Amino acid sequence: MTPQSSPSPQKSSFDRRSFIRSVSGLGAMAAGATGLSLTPSTASAVLIGPVNGQQRRARAHSLRIQAANAQMQLGVQAHPSTTDDTIYPNFIGSFTKALPHDALGEVIPSAYNALRTAISNGTQASFNAIPLGGTVRLANPQAAYSYSLEGADSNYHSMLAAPALNSAWCAGEMTEVYWRAWTRDIPFTDYGSDGNIAAASADLSGLSDLRAPKVSGSVTAGTVFRGPTAGDLTGPMISQFLYKDIPFGATTIVQRYRTTVSGVNHMTTFAHWLAVQNGSPAPTSATIDPTPRYIANGRDLAEYVHVDWSYQAFQSAALILLGFGGGALDDNNPYKAISNQGGFVTFGGPMILDLVARAGIAGLKAAWYQKWQVHRRLRPEAYAGLVHNHVTGAKTYPLHADVLNSAVLPLIQGVYGTSLLPMAFPEGSPTHPAYPGGHAAIAGACVTVLKAFFKESFAIPSPVQSDTNGLNLAPFAGALTVGGELDKLASNMSLGRETGGVHWRSDDIEGMKLGEEVGLQMLRDHKLLNNESFTGFSLTRFDGSTVVI
């Protein structure tokens, strides 16, 4: 099935100043129509301005209607999904973590049917009736019903159907997840010379359907595990916004982070894997490296996105960008042409920081609708359980040969004695479905806001990269731009979850696109709200096209 294209916001024809003139003197009419009291309050000061209090209330009401009508006119989107949730009577293609499972790790059908009933009914009683297999709870399925009052409603945005369980696409993504786990501890700076990276690149190049960056049809050391944008393929693997010092009020944050020790992975025995699928607490624990480090390898990146809070990386990026000064602001910012005023509440730091945070939660709401009500895609750790059972002969599953014949599977089997996915996190994935990635939706929304306010062509001053052990930063000899590094940051935050073992590539790439649409629709509403002469937001999308709002 092919989804309808999600329309991009077009440049608004709304003229705020004309609107002010048109509603002057109409305050009483508008207030009366909405039942608002027109009794004036006693003024304690002389009020001046283009409109009085009654007119302002009418205008505020009309602006809300204007924004709501614009979103209403977008229409209804199709929400395509695979048939995995209906064609397998044992629900092996669906997300079932934390529900009770049998000895093979297949969900008890009545438990999953209770989950489906709750999603269908949407009632508190139905959600309360979902049985759990242990003490770990489901991650907020009722958020799928939450509304958004900025931009489009959370249920509006459309996505591609996720790769089907038995497809070459899904097998290719699983093979990549296995390779990410196998190479977690290899420094990014060593990718060009490391034999395991060469083996991963060769194996991934031979897959029937791997939708990842390639050079002349092949995955290379310069493209392996990277995101799809031009920024992703330029310079170091990690964005400058994860390396540069963060101006943080009266202090400065140096971006050395807690990480875990190399070589320690989790859920590699069937008993541990099954316990986690049933919702038991993690049977193992992480060993923390006592030395904070810059992000130097996949394990470091995975641990960052394991413990970060929702929009953390994007707030940090906003603070770094604001620290670059006025030259880094987008050329459309009205205060770049105003000599006697500066942006602050509007078009300044407070507005940018606030919108980044609000974009993050809007992205999550859109993702949660897709996760629970539309796709309910299983996590890679659950697919690896199918691989293990299939390889051992415990049961036969409809898995594409690409993953079963991959060069990485014998390597994992030789070390761990199973075909399970070595997880970076003791607890494995969160207890919500895979598609789309929550980090990815946040990333798409927040980066879109940042690209609207900052100059994408602005050159990052004194670019750097981590050394092999993450103790120091070294100069990077190359030009990097704000736009490219913001795109890279979005991919780092999204695909880093794949390196941890908890997501698929399509979760992340399509989740970024979903978040991008959320951010664009939010900006469309905010275009209406300011007094300054403002031509609109202009930015580059992840696919390289330009959009003007």
Helix (H, G, I), strand (E, B) or coil at 452: helix
Segment among 21-30, 284-293, 319-328, 427-436 with least mean pLDDT: 21-30
Question: What is the distance between the alpha carbons of residues 257 and 72, in angstroms, rounded to a whole number?
Answer: 44
Q: Residues 212, 229: contact at Cβ < 8 Å?
A: no
Q: What is the pLDDT of residue 382?
A: 98
Angle at 395 between CA 393 and CA 398, to 5 degrees: 110
Contacts of 87 (CB under 8 A, 6+ apart): 93
Q: What is the pLDDT of residue 350?
A: 97
Mean pLDDT value of segment 322-341: 97
Mean pLDDT value of segment 270-298: 97
Q: What is the pLDDT of residue 9?
A: 40
pLDDT in tens, 444-487: 999 999 999 999 999 999 999 999 999 999 999 999 999 999 99
Q: What is the pLDDT of residue 208?
A: 98
Domains of the chain: 84-548 (1.10.606.10)
Question: What is the distance between the alpha carbons of residues 490 and 256, in angstroms, rounded to a whole number?
Answer: 19
Q: Residues 386, 398: contact at Cβ < 8 Å?
A: no
Question: What is the distance between the alpha carbons of residues 449 and 542, in angstroms, rounded to a whole number?
Answer: 13
Question: What is the distance between the alpha carbons of residues 382 and 431, in angstroms, rounded to a whole number?
Answer: 12
Question: Residue 525: how many CA atoms within 13 Å on its side-chain side?
Answer: 23
Average pLDDT value over all residues in the chain:
92
Q: What is the pLDDT of residue 48?
A: 86
Mean pLDDT value of segment 309-321: 98
User: What are residue 464's DSSP bridge partners?
Assistant: 475
Burial class (CB within 10 angstroms; exposed 0-12, middle 13-18, buried 19+) of 460: buried
At residue 71 the predicted structure's pLDDT band, cuts being 50, 70 and 90, is confident
Mean pLDDT value of segment 64-80: 88
Angle at 405 between CA 491 and CA 385, to 5 degrees: 70
Question: What is the distance between the alpha carbons of residues 480 and 422, in angstroms, rounded to a whole number?
Answer: 34
Instruction: Give Cα 284 to chain centroid, integer Å.
Output: 28
Mean pLDDT value of segment 297-301: 98
What percentage of the chain's residues is helix, strand, coil (to nearest 5)?
45, 5, 50
Q: Residues 536, 332: contact at Cβ < 8 Å?
A: yes
Mean pLDDT value of segment 244-250: 98
Q: State the CB neighbour count (10 A cutoff) for residue 464.
A: 17
Angle at 382 between CA 377 and CA 388, to 5 degrees: 140
Helix (H, G, I), strand (E, B) or coil at 498: helix
Question: What is the distance between the alpha carbons of residues 156 and 74, in angstroms, rounded to a whole number?
Answer: 9
pLDDT in tens, 477-528: 999 999 999 999 999 999 999 999 999 999 999 999 999 999 999 999 999 8
Q: What is the pLDDT of residue 44?
A: 56
Backbone torsions φ then ψ of 363, nearest 5 degrees: -60, -40
Q: Is the pLDDT of residue 370 over 60?
A: yes
Question: What is the H or E stretch that residue 124 is in?
Answer: helix 124-128
Question: Residue 263: how many CA atoms within 13 Å on its side-chain side?
Answer: 1
Q: What is the pLDDT of residue 2?
A: 38
Percentage of the chain beyond pLDDT 90 is 86
Q: Please state whether 151 falls in left (phi above 0), alpha (psi between -120 and 50) or beta.
A: left
Find the distance separating the first CA and the last CA of the chain, reported in whole Å: 30
Question: What is the distance between the alpha carbons of residues 365 and 151, in angstroms, rounded to a whole number?
Answer: 12
At residue 430 the predicted structure's pLDDT band, cuts being 50, 70 and 90, is very high
Helix (H, G, I), strand (E, B) or coil at 107: strand
Q: Residues 203, 182: contact at Cβ < 8 Å?
A: no
Q: Residues 419, 391: contact at Cβ < 8 Å?
A: yes
Higher pLDDT among residues 23 and 141, named by residue = 141
Question: What is the distance between the alpha carbons of residues 146 and 124, in angstroms, rounded to a whole number?
Answer: 14
Structure tokens at 325: 């000064």
Distances (CA, A) of 362 to 146, 266, 315: 10, 32, 15
Structure tokens at 129: 């009736």
User: What are residue 384's DSSP bridge partners?
Assistant: none
Q: Is the pLDDT of residue 35 over 50?
A: no
Q: DSSP assignment, residue 419?
A: -
pLDDT in tens, 187-212: 999 999 999 999 999 999 999 999 99
Structure tokens at 210: 């791997």
Q: Residues 375, 437: contact at Cβ < 8 Å?
A: no
Q: What is the pTM of this model?
A: 0.91
State the angle between helix axes of 505-526 and 168-182 in degrees (0 to 180), rounded to the nearest 10: 100
Distances (CA, A) of 259 to 245, 286, 297: 18, 10, 10
Instruction: Give Cα 362 to chain centroid, integer Å.
Output: 11
Question: What is the distance between the alpha carbons of residues 362 and 364, in angstroms, rounded to a whole number?
Answer: 5
Backbone torsions φ then ψ of 464, nearest 5 degrees: -140, 170
